[in-house]
Structure formats: structure tokens, C-alpha cells
Structure 1
Amino acid sequence: MSAEKWEDNEEIKIFREYLRIATVQPNVDYTECVEFLKRQAHSLDLPVDVIYPVEKKPVVIIKWLGTEPELPSVILNSHMDVVPVFRDKWTHDPFAADIDEEGRIFARGTQDMKSVGTGYLGAIRLLKASGVQPKRNFFVTFVPDEEIGGELGMQEFVKTEYYSNMNVGFSLDEGGTSEIDLFYVFYAERMRWGLKLNFSGTSGHGSMLLPSTAGVKLNYVLNKLTEFRESQVQRLATDQTINIGDVTTINLTQLSGGVQSNVVPPHFEAVFDMRLSITLDVVAFEKQIHDWCEEAGGGIEISFDEKEPYVAPTKIDDSNPFWLAFKAATDELGLKIYPIVCPGATDSRNIRAQGIPALGFSPIKNTTMRIHDHDEFLGAETYLKGIQIYKKILGNLANV
């Protein structure tokens, strides 16, 4: 199919219009995006609310109301914001939504995750056209600021009276792009810790072998953390049944201190990005960090810029009727799915923290993974097939 034929498809037109709204971090102005989503709700003849849990941080809720609204509802969540771009690295304008002759749509947000938001709406359009009326309420939510942690987005939304009144029983959110012939399904997420260590020690002339310097202490603790990191690298390399979401990752991301080359400084600061496996004993791990700092000689201040608590994974067994409905839909469509722990972070963690089951699923396979990368793209055919997949899944969820 030529690019012109893709351009004439109504669902593709809607998707591309959404992609052209540059909701790029930081300091996003969501005004145009909100107006776009209001128009989509009107075209579907569905009510829409816009609430502001935080000033200038809108949450758009498009409502597909059920015949038995007392039943626990379903959230279909996506985020409106996208990550920054380096325009000189793109072969297409990242906010033009160009289509090439292969039907690939190039734009920031094609994979992460505007395709999911409009994909939900496309599926509801098909279901409504075929006369489907859900038993339970569906709330299609579009939230802000997921790409910068969601502290002023979903994290605040779940605290509102509006959310409480939604009587949420299940949530569907973004998954991951698959480069092979299967679909990933996220049922849990690792805990993110931002560890900051401030090392204090003896200072003086750079020609001396001074005792208990900040640098020596830094080296000791860094070696211990690196040894632990290597154990996770080896575990991942030798166990073919696990993936990156099943191990703990540790990376030194910031290092500062010192004034000039011949002065031993009294302080160094090191920051580590840690993503903790849901099977890790976090109490024992934190104690281990404290022990290493004491072994290094003490005088090390430990703090956390971020320290997410353990959140139980969503059950993917017979005890979860929403999982059974989701799995039945993918089985009927003949889809190969692979449940994994999300290696990064999504808004689902805020839903799961409320005790609500949540799955992450993006109907994207056999596609080069370009999430947060240059030349992010999604094939038009893949996008339209995704709408059909969502149609089946939503139809099943409606009648749990």
C-alpha cells in the first residue's frame, strides 16, 4: 500500500494529528492536546471530563459508560507527554508524522505511547459501530508527566476523589515494543532507587598518602556496588529463563567533587540509578549498603532522591478474572504473549499500589525498538492491527 493510501485512512489521520502535537518535556503546555482529546470524545459521542489534580497538569477522562455501572470499572491509560528530541539526529521532522513508502510513520510518541491512547479510541469506535455496549464503565485516561516520573500526574490523580469514585477494578497501560514475533505484557515493575552517597574524608596536598580520604572511601564502596552489579550481569548471562526486568541494575550516573589536581578534596558525591528486582530482599540490600559504607571507614552520608516501595505484582493466574479475559482474547487472536517484569517504569505502578491489578500491553511486534531513540516510528499496518487487537481485548474486559 502506498503512502497516499495510508494517509487517507481515518484512523491514521487521527493518530498523525495527535503525533503532531508537540507535548515534549520539559514544561509541557497541554492545552492543544486537551482540545484534541475533547474533539475525539465528541466524535465518539462520549462524555469527557478534564480535571487538574495539580495546576497546569490536566488529566483527560473519556467515559464509555456501561449498563451495570456498579461493577468495578476498567481504566485504559496512556500518557500525553513525550521525551525530548535531538532534531539533528532525525531523518524526519519528529513532529511532522511523515509516512514513507513502507508505511512507517516517523514521529516522537509513535511507540511511546500516543499509539496506545488513540488505539484505545479506535477500538471503542469499532465496538460502538458494531452495537457493543459494555456492562462495566470504561475510563480512557490521558495523564501528564509520565516521562518525568509521574509525580504530578498519575501519582496525584489516584489520590483524588474523582479517582475514588471511578471504582476501578483493573487498568490497562503501555507495554513494550517487541522486535520479534511476540508481544510483551508487563505484570510488575522493579523498584526505582536513586542512591546518593556523600563521602567525607581527610584533605590535604596531592603529594601525600593521607589516611581515610573521601576518594579511598568512594573507591571501596564503588567496588562493592560494581561487584554486586557484575553478579547480576552474570545471572542474566547464564539463566536463559530471565530478562533484564528480573535482575537488579546499578549504574553510577553522577560523580562530583574536587577543586584542582593537586588538592585532595574533603568531599566527593556519587549518585547511582538503581532498579531493584521484585525478588530482592530490599531490607537486607539496604543494610548491605550501610555495612559497606561503614567498612569503607564511615563518614559517608546516605540519602535517596527516590526510593520506591515494594508493590506486589499483578497476578497472572486463575485468581485474576481480568487476566483470564485478556489471555482469552490474545489466545483467540492467535497472539504469542510473553509476560515480563517491566525493566523501566510506567504509571501502572501507581495503580498497583492501590491494590488494583494492572497490565501493560502495547500491540507492537516485529518492530525496531525506538522508544526514546532517534527516528522513532510505527508502521501504519501495525497500528491498525493494534486497534483490532484492542477491540477484542476490550470486548472481553467489558464482560468480565
Structure 2
Amino acid sequence: MDVPGPVSRFIEYLRIKTVQPTPDYAACREHLRGQARELGLAFQAHEYVAGKPVVILTWEGTEPALPSIILNSHTDVVPVFEEFWSHPPFEAARVPTADGSDYQIIARGAQDMKIVGHCYLEAIRAMQQRGERVRRTVHAVFVPDEEIGGHDGMALFVGSPEFAALNAGFALDEGMANPGDGLRVFYGERAPCWVRFVAHGQTGHGSQFIDDTAAEKLVPIIDRMMEFRREQLAAFRTPNADGSAKTLGDVTTANLTMLQSGVQHNVVPESASASVDIRMTPSIDYQAFRRWLEDLAAEHGAQAEMVQFWEDNTVTPTDASNPFWPAFEDAIAAQGIAIVREIFPAATDSRYLRRAGIPALGVTPLRNTPILLHDHNEYVLQSDVLAGIDFYTHVLAAVANVPG
């Protein structure tokens, strides 16, 4: 069976090995340059760190003075363990489903998030083929390094004159598949707080009772963090007042991820450290939480080092105070799709946009689909790709035509 053009182009995109830690961004940039040429879109590529291009494809609106629409996606993907894959992860194999009604497209990045970036462009293509125009200029933005924090990508881009020149008014970015029937729409996200607790103490022979050791200082800190984790887990398992279940975005998670100490079995170590991966829900005071961690460390004679700390807890309004929300919501409802509003459980590049004052929503148009981001045998169905294109034609026609 012939492969539909939009699916063929998706497979081409998936085959570009933009895999961390050495993504082939040059090949990705040239692929996007080719797409811009086919679609008659203006093309820009800017490197704020050498070899890491931010690529912008622009579809000019009929009223270009209005604040524009940003369609953001990241081009990098996470590493793979190839021995656990049924097909090579960058072959983008197109495999018939068991009942023969569809095809799985198996590739790293299929869900996270090349389907989204690809569907943006295919939606523009479909609208152009129908002779449609939109009021607001639309910028499809493809950024590097989101999977390792976005520090060399979106973080630098939003502070650049090139970003200011886009006159952004509203943005769409990645979301997550939903195993259920609703469309998950993320209007905020939990902030990363990676803390390393470091303690120093007396050293000596392991056969003695030595006072004031590093471990003695560190253990009660770990105990308190595990108690905090149990408290948050209990809150997560407690239904909301309306009986609905909480999501991870509603609570703050804490996981002990690294313990480091010691040089030899019979030597009491001079130092010890414990690293905790914390994701803060935006409903808490981030600075107060940071002070609590620092005070906890000081109480036990240790230090709290912030390996990563995100200070901004801005969320995007999902009511009429955000003029783009009603248009977005109506476009979804017109497709017969229910919206599930959530806080994203991890960090995406949307946080940089929101901090810059741009309302951003995270959406990946995958429903009744297992969550496979970062997993073995990541895939999407061919029908998902085609439905995603249709989804974005409706959404783009709505949000890019919001009057000024």
C-alpha cells in the first residue's frame, strides 16, 4: 500500500538521528529548510550555542501587526537501548497492526515530540492547499536540547532580539499521550528542584565511635525528605473534593536519586552527600520551599546545594482572561473531544515561554494511546498522524484568527 505523503514526510523526519548526547542538528536544519521551501515559508536558523540551531518557519498572517502564534517543538530525542527494540529505533519502521487496520510507526521521537512538530507543518500545508489564510502570523519554532533542560536552546532564544521580533502572543508546545479518551491540555508544569545535601564531619578508623560524622548529619535529613515524600504520596492518593483522582501535577514529588560517600570500608568518611529530585507543583511558594530545604540542612549542620532550581510558577489562564483560550476550547469541542486540564508532571520548554509572559498550552493530540515517551518501542499509529494534522488545522484556524 502506498504511504500517504504526510506519513512519508514524518518517517523522513524520524530517521534524522537527533539523539542525545550528539544530535545531528545539521541534518535536521536542512530537513526543515526543505519543508520551508516546499511550503513557501520564511526560514531562519539562529545558533546561540554553536551547532545548536533554533529554526523558525514563518507563515505570515493577513494582519501581521497582531501578536503572533508560536508553534513550538523540540528536535532532540533521548537515548535508546537498542537491544530492547523490536525494530531499529531510527529506521521508523511502518508495521501493520495485528488486525491489519492500521500501521505502527516505531521510532524514537515518535511521541516525544516529532509528531507534534511535523503535524504543525502538515496542518499549514493542508490549510494552504485549501486556500486558507489566517490573521495572525504563525511561527513554527524548532528548538534544540529540550531533553537536557533547554539551557542552550529555548532559554537563550527567549532572551534574544530574534524572539522579541516575533511579537509572540500565544504558544502551543508538547503535552503527553492519554491512555483515556480525553485530550490532555497542560496549562502549567511542575518546576524542577534538584538539591544535593552535603555534610562534613570527623574522620578516623572505622572501628571507633567517632563523634560528629558526616553520616550522622545526613541521615536525619534523608529521613525528613522520605517523610515528606510519604506525605505527598498520601495526598496524591486522596481524591479531590469532587471525587476525581489527583494527577502527579497536583502534588510535589521527591525521590532520593544519589548517595555519595566513602573511600574504604574501614575509614569513616569526611563527607557525604544525598541528591534528591524534587518536582514542585505550582500551587506552592517555591521560594518558601527552597528556604525550608536550606533550613533543614542547616538544622543538622549540613548544606543544601541547588543543582537546579526553577523559581517561576506562572501558569496559563484557562478562562476568558486569556483571549486565546475560548478559541482553543471551542475548536476542540467542535471536534467532539473532551479536554482534561492538567499540570504537566515534568519540565518542558513552555516554562521559558510562560516566564517571558507568553501564555502557553502543552498539547500532544494522542488519545487512547499508551504513554511511551522515553520508553522502548516508542510508536504512534499512522492514523494518529493523520488525525493530528486534522486536529491542528482546526486549532490553528481558531487561535490564529483571534481578533486583535
Q: Same fold (TM over 0.5)?
A: yes
Superimposed CA distance per residue, residues 206-247 of structure 1 (whole angstroms, 9 cap, x where no aligned partner): 222322211111110000000001100000111244210111
Query: After superposition, where does 1:40-189 map in structure 2 within 5 Å?
Result: 40-102=35-97, 103-189=103-189
| Matched-pair identity in % | 44
Q: Is the 8 A contact 2:95 2:105 kept in 1?
A: yes
**Structure 2 CA distance for aligned equivalents of residues 311 and 352 of structure 1:** 9
Counterpart AA for 1:345: A
The 4+ residue runs of structure 1 with deviation greater than 3 A are none
Cα distance in 2 for partners of 1:342, 1:36 equals 30
Range that drifts further, 130-139 or 232-241: 232-241
Q: Which amino acid letter does the alignment assign opposite residue 311 of structure 2? A: P
Match of 2:225 in 1: 225
**Secondary structure, counterpart of 2:369 in structure 1:** coil
Is it true that 1:253 corresponds to 2:248 in the alignment? no
Q: Secondary structure at the match of 2:256?
A: strand
Following the alignment from structure 2 to structure 1, what is the Cα–Cα distance between the partners of residues 22 and 333?
42
TM-score for both structures, normalised by structure 2: 0.95
Partner of 1:294: 298
The alpha carbon displacement at 1:277 in A equals 1.1
Equivalence for 1:242? 246
Please give the alpha-carbon distance, in whole angstroms, between the structure 2 residues aligned to 1:36 and 1:287: 47
The aligned amino acid for 2:49 is: V
Structure 2, unmatched stretches of 5+, are 98-102
CA shift, 1:202, in A, is 1.9
CA offsets 1:40-71 (integer angstroms, 9 cap, x no match):
11111212111112211111111100111100
Corresponding position of 2:360? 358
Is residue 273 of structure 2 the alignment partner of residue 269 of structure 1?
yes
Tell me the CA shift for residue 115 of structure 1: 0.4
The AA in structure 1 aligned to 2:50 is E
Q: Deviation per CA, 1:3-40, whole angstroms, max 9, x where unpaired?
A: x34xx200000000000001000022311111111111
1:311 Cα offset (Å):
2.9
Please list the CA deviations of residues 101-141 of structure 1 after superposition, one character each: whole Å capped at 9, or x if unmatched. Answer: 12010000000000001100111111111111111100001
Picking from 348, 355, 364, the partner of 1:346 is: 348
**Residue of structure 1 aligned with 2:4, choices 9, 29, 45:** 9
2:286 is matched with which residue: 267, 282, 291?
282
| 2-structure distance, mates of 1:292, 1:209 | 25
Listed as ranges, the gaps of 5+ residues in structure 1 are none
SS of residue matched to 1:111:
helix
Hey, what's the Cα distance between the residues in 2 that align with 1:241 and 1:149?
A: 29
Q: CA deviation at 1:271?
A: 1.3
Structure 2 Cα separation of the partners of residues 47 and 286 of structure 1: 44
In the comparison of the two structures, how many residue pairs are matched?
A: 393
Match of 2:396 among 384, 388, 394: 394
Q: What residue number does 2:23 align with? A: 28
If the length of structure 1 is used for normalisation, what is the TM-score? 0.96
| Farther-moved stretch of structure 1 (261-270 vs 166-175) | 261-270
3-state DSSP class of the match of 2:110? coil
Aligned-partner SS, 1:197: strand
Could you tell me how far 1:188 is from its partner in structure 2? 0.4
